[in-house]
Amino acid sequence: MEPSTPMEPGGAAPARSLCSRAGCRRPADYRLEWRNPRIHGADRTKVWLACEEHQDELAAFLTARAFPLVVRPLAGDSGSDAASRSGGG
Ligand SMILES: [Zn+2]
């Protein structure tokens, strides 16, 4: 499926994207933009979504193959700073 994300002129938030990791149902916090230079053109970009926990794992998977990778935070709104939590979760 093609991840179509049209800009919604309004306050209606689209359905929250989930982590692309198999078996993971957590909401995604990161957006991994990558491509395989051997099969993808320079203008072709694949996008994986990842939660906080799997971002490292998915990124490692791609970088281990020397794929060009750009990781961006999904949260567009400024002011959402849910970091600084004590203890693991
Ligand atoms: Zn995940």
Confidence of residue 40 (pLDDT cuts 50, 70, 90): confident
Sign of the torsion formed by the C-alpha atoms of 73, 79, 84 and 86: negative
What's the gap in Å between 59 CA and the centre of ligand 1?
12
What's the gap in Å between 4 CA and the centre of ligand 1?
21
Amino acid identity, position 56: D
What's the gap in Å between 44 CA and the centre of ligand 1?
24
Confidence of residue 85 (pLDDT cuts 50, 70, 90): very low
Amino acid identity, position 38: R
The tokens for 6 are 């049209």
Confidence of residue 74 (pLDDT cuts 50, 70, 90): confident
Per-chain mean pLDDT for the chain: 80
What's the gap in Å between 38 CA and the centre of ligand 1?
27
Phi, psi of 77 (to 5 degrees): -70, 135
What's the rounded mean pLDDT across residues 58-67? 96
What's the gap in Å between 22 CA and the centre of ligand 1?
8
User: ∠ CA 33-1-58 to the nearest 5 degrees?
Assistant: 35
User: What does the alpha-carbon distance between residue 23 and residue 40 come to, in Å, rounded to a whole number?
Assistant: 26
Q: Please give the residue that has the higher pLDDT: either 16 or 83.
A: 16
What's the gap in Å between 58 CA and the centre of ligand 1?
9
Q: Where are the domains of the chain?
A: 30-73
What's the rounded mean pLDDT across residues 50-76? 93
What's the gap in Å between 35 CA and the centre of ligand 1?
20
Confidence of residue 89 (pLDDT cuts 50, 70, 90): very low
Q: What is the number of other CB atoms lying within 10 angstroms of the CB of residue 75? A: 14
- pLDDT for residue 88: 46
